Amino acid sequence: MDKIAILFGPTGGNTEKAANLVARAFGEDKAVLIPVKNVQESDIMAFSRIIFGGPTVGTHTWSDPNQKNDWDVFLTRLYKMDLKGKSCAVFGLGDQVSYSFKFVDDVGTIADHVIQAGGKLVGSVDPEGYTFDESKAFRNGKFLGLPLDEDNEPELTQGRINKWVELLKTEL
Using one digit for the tens of pLDDT, what is the confidence trace for 41-78?
888 889 999 999 998 755 445 455 555 677 878 888 88
Q: Provide Rg for the chain, Cα atoms.
A: 15
**Which CATH number fits the domain that encloses residue 89?**
3.40.50.360
Range of the domain at 136: 4-171
Q: How far apart are CA 75 and CA 146, in angstroms?
A: 19
User: Taking residues 8-36, what's their average pLDDT?
Assistant: 93
Domain count, the chain: 1
User: Taking residues 18-44, what's their average pLDDT?
Assistant: 92
For residues 107-124, one letter each, b for 16 or more C-beta atoms within 10 angstroms of the residue's C-beta and e for the rest, the string is bbbbbbbbeebebbbbbb
pLDDT digits (tens, 9 = 90+) for 95-116: 999 889 989 999 999 999 999 9
